Amino acid sequence: MPYVTAKDGAQIFYKDWGRKDGQPIVFSHGWPLTADDWDAQMMFFADHGYRAVAHDRRGHGRSTQTWDGNEMDAYADDLRAVVEALDLKDAIHVGHSTGGGEVARYLGRHGTDRAARAVLIGAVPPVMVKKESNPDGLPLEVFGGFRASTLADRAQFFKEIPAGPFYGFNRPGAKVSQGLIDKWWLQGMMGGVKGHYDCIKAFSETDFTDDLKKIDVPVLILHGDDDQIVPIHDSALKAIKLVKHGTLKVYAGLPHGMASTHAEIINHDILAWLDGTLAGDPVAGEALEPAE
């Protein structure tokens, strides 16, 4: 299988699909998943002439289950290692959830010399946890519960998340896909408990405010207003005000995992944005109310 060696020796698995002379579109997945979570996007963009690349974050999937380095700086450095090893230039970086934080930290830490654009989908930036500088965030106890459940019975916990809030399958009238739930569980169980445990702190407590401010390429922010994992009011509606060249698109009633449940919509909107034909929503989005 294809791997890139990170600077600390960790082996980072990646997939490289489509035309090698196509513009690279690079995907960073959410916790606790793998590059396989991007199947619908990898197929779509490779079919549209792009070079589609996705990697398994360290501690996740087929990459090395490191004891140390399960934090955002290392994740960003690992992404840089993939970009450099494959000599990707003019790349479009797409990150979902934790992956959105990874993309923001990568661009803030390593700059945009090899990047053309970025797309953040249901992404965690600017910062999730509640603190003095972020009073609207989620209490630290919420993420402590995530960590406790991951240690106590990770296998069961990883059944409950996709069956409930991740895909919005807990909403009345939701069209539940058992296959999608099983795929989420399988991806999660491929990774290591140490990496998953540490990653909860990384995605919830890392502050990406300065990273967002440094990004000087166009950024598309996509978020469902019924995202039960990363609430829109403490993420997308704040992030759009921090990036220099941002476009915000809000989806009424769509869940955190909308790139899977509504892949056709998300894929075509990203493509429309790349073509310059996507109409964004007003930046002043505080009036938006979450779906009931």
- Residues identified as active-site: 97, 227, 256
Give every CB contact of residue 292 below 8 A, 6+ residues apart in sequence. none
The residue type found at 217 is: V
Alpha-helix runs per DSSP H in the chain: 39-47, 72-85, 98-110, 140-161, 178-190, 193-205, 209-214, 236-239, 258-261, 263-275
22 contacts 151 by C-beta, under 8 angstroms: no
Contact 229, 256 (CB under 8 A): yes
Residue among 41, 44, 155, 47 nearest 96 (CA): 41
Q: How far apart are CA 65 and CA 241, in angstroms?
A: 36
Q: Which residue, among 147, 133, 164, 279, has the nearest Cα to 203 in the 3D structure? A: 147
Map tokens 């290392």 to a residue.
74
Instruction: Report the alpha-carbon distance of residue 186 to residue 228 in Å, rounded.
Output: 22
